[in-house]
A and B are shown apart, each in its own frame.
Chain A
Amino acid sequence: MLKMTHLSKVYRTEVVETYALRDFNINVKEGEFVAVTGPSGSGKTTFLTIAGLLETFTGGEYHLDGVEVSNLNDNARSKIRNEKIGFIFQAFNLIPDLNVFDNVEVPLRYRGMKAAERKQRIMDALERVGLASRAKHYPAELSGGQQQRVAIARALAGSPRLLLADEPTGNLDTQMARGVMELLEEIHREGATIVMVTHDPELAARAQRNVHIIDGQVVDLAEDPRFHHAVHAARNNAPA
């Protein structure tokens, strides 16, 4: 589903080159739930933005759902984002001027879907996240957890092949975070491929697989003893 080989991302200024990702390799299979972990500044978010075609990369190869994406133009990248990827952001990124229904509708409109089909998909997605009754509410009228559920509904409405979540519970309290995480797990059980960036060992422990990034490279989890220990502890404490 998602395969990066020897991928690099370099930010250049007049005087310095900074490698955000270097010789980066990852292979996420269809139906997997992968947690990408690592300390701040390790390159987690850069990986996610490149994986989501929000940014281009400097070198290497990236195949998404079998398509090599490095040579695609802006329109083709937009189309892939719209049809194959669902985004869940840490800050929810709902559009404050639009109500819940219209927010979920945004990617469907860009797909050129007919109104009746859009409506059906939106209501299905909102029911799935338990917010069908809030369709006419504006984001400011919802709690953080509810807003993230709307963002998940927006990501799900287009039936994407891949869900990319960037610290999805980062702005939520523990109870709301748990609810959102349970929802993601439920979506995964239904067959979705999920790549979640987090620095929370407890959340990472709930994924099928952990990919650990340090200094822009994927490393063995054991190479970061503190995180390794935290994840193990979280797994051992997890309910069966």
Chain B
Amino acid sequence: MLQIKPILAALKRHKAGTILIALQIALTLAIVCNALFIIQQRLDRIARPTGMIETDLLTLQNRWVGVDDEKTGPLIRADVQAIRQLPGVEDAISINSYPLRGGGWSTGVRTNPDAKKSETHTTQYFVDDHALATMGLKLVAGRNFRSDEIVEMDPKAVVASSQIMVTKTLADKLFPDGSGLGKVVYVDDGTKPSTIIGIVERLEVPWNSSWSDTFLDNAVLLPYQLTGGGTSYMVRSKPGQLAAITKSVPETLYKLNRMRVIPSERGVRTYDVVRAQAYKSDRGMAILMGVVCLVLLAITAAGIVGLTSFWVGQRRKQIGVRRALGATQRDILSYFMTENLLIGVAGVVVGALLAIGMNLWLVTQFEMARLSLVYVAVGVVALLLLGQGAVLAPAMRAARVPPVEATRSV
């Protein structure tokens, strides 16, 4: 039976408690909506594909010790050859960086050599003809590098290559009509033309911070074997052999040449570890926000339980009178549930406006994305359900108040 009018009339006489709980619901909704939105954004980032096949992938950081930088070329080639011949290894490359590594090369790229400004930014990966197989990239147009096209390159003297591969995102950005294959571009703000000979479906930049979000999938692959003191290796294992090669690859490299350091920390990492470490802060933020949400929801639920329990205790006699006048246990239960629903509705209306306002402030202050109204809708439903759940126990206690309570004087 609907009792909205008398409940509203009664609530008007208990303004302080009503307003406090409604405000608590409103603030919880506003914070929880925005926190859930942030969590979802972080989870989306964490789940973002790199474009590589990440299973069975191993990375190594190698630093030569006591070897001149310009003499590292043959050593790197020997390392790669030795790794490729190991049992359990599918393929391997040396590379200047890789997605989620955190550091790499970035540069501008233009289609017009006379343009003063780059049309977009891109990262540069220096690889050989084994990169597609090792990294698990999907070639969607053109061809891979040939082995005879690979050039040894001093990192201090890198110039544009006449042949490059690019990601589809970058090709489409430079040539929106989809005709990037075979076209000439100018990388690294130079005037030497580079012809796009191949397009890979996707390959993320090495950074996962917000500054690279505008060119996240812009990558150029250059057929260079980079020399220098520090070298990264990527190794693809045969299925199920990753654990074995994680041990055998560094052992083999040390046997081959001891004039090196493979750091114990971050020196040998499966790609799962790379991903986990790269997104550690995002995961931490998501967990923190999740905990904040849970604590807030728990406090709000406790507040509702507390206030309703107080009201039930305070109105025990009144409940007895209602029962004496014909209210069933269901009527009493429904009274308290409806009362909570009315407070909850007032709270979520204010909370929804607060949530949107809070998000607009975050948008202007921290360049956050606009809050989807779906989060507000889900939050509204969740808070109302939470309220109904929290009020259930005290409401049931109220329903059990016997009608004879009406005749008791205390």
Q: Give A contacts to B, CB under 8 Å.
A: 45, 48-49, 52-55, 74-75, 78-79, 81-83, 87, 89, 91, 93, 95-99, 102, 105-107, 109-112, 154, 158, 166
Contacts and interface: CB of A to CB of B under 8 A. Distances in A.
Given A54-B407, A74-B328, 14 more contacts: A53-B403, A54-B403, A54-B406, A55-B404, A75-B330, A87-B325, A96-B318, A98-B9, A102-B5, A102-B9, A105-B6, A107-B325, A110-B325, A110-B327
Interface string B1-34: 1010110011001100000000000000000000
Contacts of B3: 109
Contacts of A102: 5-6, 9
B324 A79 contact: no
A78 B6 contact: no
**B interface, size bucket:** 20 to 34
B407 A89 contact: yes
Interface string B243-264: 0000000000000000000000
Most B Cβ at <10 Å: residue of A45, A78, A99: A78
Nearest to A154: B325
A97 B406 contact: no
B9 A74 contact: no
Contact of A97 (B10, B328, B403, B407): B10
A189 B159 CA distance: 114
A46 to B, nearest CB: 9
Given A55-B402, A97-B10, A97-B13, A81 B325 contact: yes
Contacts of B325: 81-82, 87, 106-107, 110, 154
A110 B404 contact: no
A106 B402 CA distance: 17
Contact of B331 (A53, A91, A110): A110
B317 interface: yes
Contacts of B1: 109-110, 112
A110 B326 CA distance: 6
Interface of B: 1, 3, 5-6, 9-10, 13-14, 317-318, 321-331, 402-404, 406-407, 409
A106 B331 CA distance: 11
Nearest to A102: B6
Contacts of A111: 326
18 contacts: A49-B407, A54-B324, A81-B325, A87-B406, A89-B407, A93-B317, A97-B10, A98-B9, A102-B6, A102-B9, A106-B6, A106-B322, A106-B325, A110-B326, A110-B327, A110-B331, A111-B326, A154-B325
Contact of A49 (B321, B329, B404): B404
Most B Cβ at <10 Å: residue of A52, A81, A95, A158: A95
B14 to A, nearest CB: 7
Contacts of A48: 407
A173 to B, nearest CB: 19
B126 to A, nearest CB: 78
A48 B406 CA distance: 12
A74 B400 CA distance: 11
B6 A98 contact: yes
Most B Cβ at <10 Å: residue of A82, A89, A93, A99: A93
B407 A78 contact: no
B349 to A, nearest CB: 23
A195 to B, nearest CB: 14
A158 B326 CA distance: 11
A75 B328 CA distance: 6
Nearest to A107: B325
B326 A78 contact: yes
Contacts of B407: 45, 48-49, 54, 89, 166
A97 B14 contact: yes
Given A89-B406, A91-B409, A97-B14, A74 B6 contact: no
Contacts of A95: 10, 318, 321-322
A188 to B, nearest CB: 21
Contacts of B329: 74-75, 78
B336 to A, nearest CB: 14
A52 B324 CA distance: 8
B327 A87 contact: no
A13 B409 CA distance: 22
Contacts of B328: 74-75, 78-79, 110
Contact of A83 (B318, B323, B326, B403): B326
Nearest to B407: A49
Nearest to B5: A102
A131 B6 CA distance: 20
A67 B235 CA distance: 89
A112 B331 CA distance: 11
- Leading 9 A-B pairs by shortest Cβ distance: A82-B326, A97-B10, A110-B326, A107-B325, A54-B404, A54-B403, A97-B13, A78-B328, A93-B321
Contacts of B318: 95-97
Nearest to B322: A106
A82 B14 CA distance: 28
A109 B403 CA distance: 17
A78 B326 CA distance: 5
Contacts of A96: 13, 318
